[in-house]
Structure 1
Amino acid sequence: MELLTAYAGACAIGLVLGLMGGGGSILTVPLLVYVMGINPVAATGYSLFIVGTTSAFGGVQNYLKGNVAVKQGLFIAIPSFITVYCTRRYIVPAIPQNLIETQSFTLHKGTFIMGVFAIIMLLAALSMLFKKNKAIETAAQNNNTSYIYILPYIILTGITMGLVGAGGGFLIIPMLVFFGNLSMKKAVGTSLLIIAINSITGFMGDLHNTVIDWQFLLSFTAISIFGIFVGTYLHRYVNEKQLKKGFGIFILVMACFIFSKEFFGF
């Protein structure tokens, strides 16, 4: 039953990536941790592989349709994938198993990672629920911010992605719109390319530190890839505004669930 639920979730991950150009890891990590019982550190690494491989297929689809801005994508992908790799290779293994340890409270490494992940989910939910896409695109047309000023933001995004195993679509798309002057449609397609590069590179950093269950990982990923083809096809028929609102509410609920589960034991 758990395996069936996990594979159904794998298809949902692909659907979300195909429909929205991001958000796959928001489903992947909780699914691996709470349904499959995988350690949070390993789950974030698995998430990078699953979301990265699935996004690569979606990125190719969008490239063939002319919805990928390669130049703007590489400007963001290159510094961020270096940061993601270094985070998974050096920073995550260096985090102690018990970050805070007192007589009354202990903050474990896994709890810390899931707590950070819940915060990222909360930010993603707020972004989906309150962001006005047309206003963003209008502001982007008059934006001339130098690349050097957004480089720290790109690096911070890479560290965040590496720490929690997230593809970072909800962080990447605003960068592409504001600083790359792309339409939302092209930003979604380009974000899949960046997510794929960043996630797979970050997972390579995990190969030095984690024992991988390749049979489970590859079968899970294959179902997710099927989902992204379905999601990309359905994208033309759905109301994007309503989809984002509904998914934003779902993410908000999941963030509250993770906080209560990790810190209050509910």
Structure 2
Amino acid sequence: MPLDATGLSLVMGAAVGLVLALTGAGGGILAVPLLVFGLHLQMAQAAPIGLLAVGLAAALGALLGLRDGSVRYRAALLIGLTGMLVAPLGVRLAQRLPNAPVMATFAALLGWVAWRGLRQGSRAAREAKRPAARAPVCAMNPATGRLSWRAPCTALLALTGSLSGLLSGLLGVGGGFVIVPMLAGISNVPPRGVVATSMAVIALVSVGGVLGAATQGTLAWPVALPFAAGAVLALLAGRRLSARLAGPRLQQAFGAIAAAVALLLLLRAVGAAT
């Protein structure tokens, strides 16, 4: 028997939560395409639903990360609060721009994420064996777990928050695909800490986008609630799998999926524009 809209929303949300648990970065960027193709929503309708689901799932992941001490909470607060301030701007832009160019922008962004996932997946094992060439901009003291708060570090973290906030409001993505590589590139925070910190930021940034959509009356709650429930439940289950499945092959698989979805979105955007 085919699933109704509620059941389909639950299943699609579960797929988003599982990806978020495994990567800390990919759930949000797959949520909107699933809603666009699975439930035939417009980008402006799908974006806040995806943001709500990813935000709730990320909040749960962040709380679990805080419990085990893997969240760098000062960095998460700076990135997240900056993103919260910028996210409503992205929501306003999403409501004013036509659907086709927004979808094409999302497809281009997803294509970049796919390329990065495939490229980094093939290089991860080799680069992991290389010694660090220089101290990172945001160096973490392994003994205390605290970052060195110098001006370049603070500026880069604030820039990361601004970009993730804008994309969150405009496209309904959590911003983890920006936060994870940025934080990993400028710091020596362990991968588990990067993922947990990313989830904390996504939870904060999502607040601005969801509130902006809710106050403007563009959040479809009958779809959003089961979608979010599926994401939260799958994230709990996915955390048990993350230690065994994480690695270069997972990055490559996510990159391949993202590339296929990007192509489908681009074709749909071209069809909508003609």
The TM-score normalised by the length of structure 1 is 0.86
Which of these residues, 131, 136, 143, is aligned with residue 143 of structure 1?
Answer: 136
**In structure 2, how many angstroms separate the alpha carbons of the residues matched to 1:192 and 1:118?**
23
**Who is 2:146 aligned against?**
none
* 2:124 is equivalent to residue 122 of structure 1: no
Letter in 1 for 2:9: A
| Cα deviation digits, residues 210-242 of structure 1 (max 9, x gap) | 243323321221111110011111112224221
**In structure 2, how many angstroms separate the alpha carbons of the residues matched to 1:161 and 1:138?**
35
**Who is 2:77 aligned against?**
74
| 5+ residue gaps, structure 2 | 139-151
* 2:175 is equivalent to residue 173 of structure 1: no
| 1:138 Cα deviation from its structure 2 partner | 5.6
| Cα deviation digits, residues 164-217 of structure 1 (max 9, x gap) | 111111110122223343122210111011011101221101122224332332
**In structure 2, how many angstroms separate the alpha carbons of the residues matched to 1:165 and 1:140?**
36
Which of these residues, 251, 256, 263, is aligned with residue 258 of structure 2?
Answer: 251
**Who is 1:92 aligned against?**
94
| 1:7 Cα deviation from its structure 2 partner | 2.5
CA contact 1:80–1:154 (8 Å) conserved in 2: yes
46-55 or 73-82, which deviates more: 73-82
| 1:144 Cα deviation from its structure 2 partner | 2.6
**Who is 1:8 aligned against?**
11
**In structure 1, how many angstroms separate the alpha carbons of the residues matched to 2:88 and 2:266?**
27
Identity within the alignment, %: 26
| 1:139 Cα deviation from its structure 2 partner | 5.0
- After TM superposition, the runs of 4+ consecutive aligned structure 1 residues lying more than 6 A away are none
**In structure 2, how many angstroms separate the alpha carbons of the residues matched to 1:258 and 1:220?**
20
How many residue pairs get matched?
A: 252
C-alpha distance 140-20 of structure 1, shift in aligned 2 (>3 A): farther
CA contact 1:119–1:255 (8 Å) conserved in 2: yes
**In structure 1, how many angstroms separate the alpha carbons of the residues matched to 2:213 and 2:179?**
22
**Who is 1:200 aligned against?**
207
CA contact 2:48–2:219 (8 Å) conserved in 1: no
CA contact 1:6–1:31 (8 Å) conserved in 2: no
| 5+ residue gaps, structure 1 | 97-108
Secondary structure of the residue that 2:60 maps to in structure 1?
Answer: helix
**In structure 1, how many angstroms separate the alpha carbons of the residues matched to 2:39 and 2:241?**
28
CA contact 1:127–1:170 (8 Å) conserved in 2: no
Which of these residues, 26, 35, 49, is aligned with residue 23 of structure 1?
Answer: 26
**Who is 2:45 aligned against?**
42
**In structure 2, how many angstroms separate the alpha carbons of the residues matched to 1:228 and 1:92?**
28
**In structure 1, how many angstroms separate the alpha carbons of the residues matched to 2:55 and 2:47?**
12
> RMSD of aligned C-alpha atoms?
2.3
C-alpha distance 51-153 of structure 1, shift in aligned 2 (>3 A): closer
**Who is 1:103 aligned against?**
none
* 2:227 is equivalent to residue 225 of structure 1: no
Secondary structure of the residue that 1:212 maps to in structure 2?
Answer: coil
**Who is 2:148 aligned against?**
none
* 2:120 is equivalent to residue 113 of structure 1: no
C-alpha distance 149-213 of structure 1, shift in aligned 2 (>3 A): closer
| 1:9 Cα deviation from its structure 2 partner | 1.6
